[in-house]
Amino acid sequence: AFGPTVTTYVQQNPDPSPQDFVLWSLFNTMFCNVFCLGFIALAFSVKARDRKIAQDPASAVAFGKTARSLNIAALCLGVITIIIGIVLLVI
């Protein structure tokens, strides 16, 4: 009646945390801020981080995807602008 107790633990896989891309947005805000896309991406990144802290992963993922898209656009336009500036400087 008083034998050993068997306890079973079920370990759940942790859900991956949604990405917020704050560092990338900060970089784009400082160096590749064409049409203020870096600043807008930073705003969406901060919103994603706030939603992540508020335990709302669906909104955090949505804001994170928007921030990622804006970061890609800002980086591409920034690199193109830098390349055009260098070419114009050389010519």
The number of distinct structural domains making up the chain is: 1
Supply the pLDDT for residue 34. Answer: 87
- pTM for this one? 0.80
Model confidence over 27-80: pLDDT tens digits?
Answer: 999 998 889 999 999 999 999 999 999 999 999 999 999 999 999 999 999 999
How many Cα atoms occupy the beta-carbon half-sphere of 89 within 13 Å?
Answer: 6
- On the 0-12 / 13-18 / 19+ scale of CB atoms within 10 A, 22 is middle
pLDDT at 1: 60
Assigned domain for 82 exists: yes
Domain enclosing residue 42, as ranges: 36-50+66-90
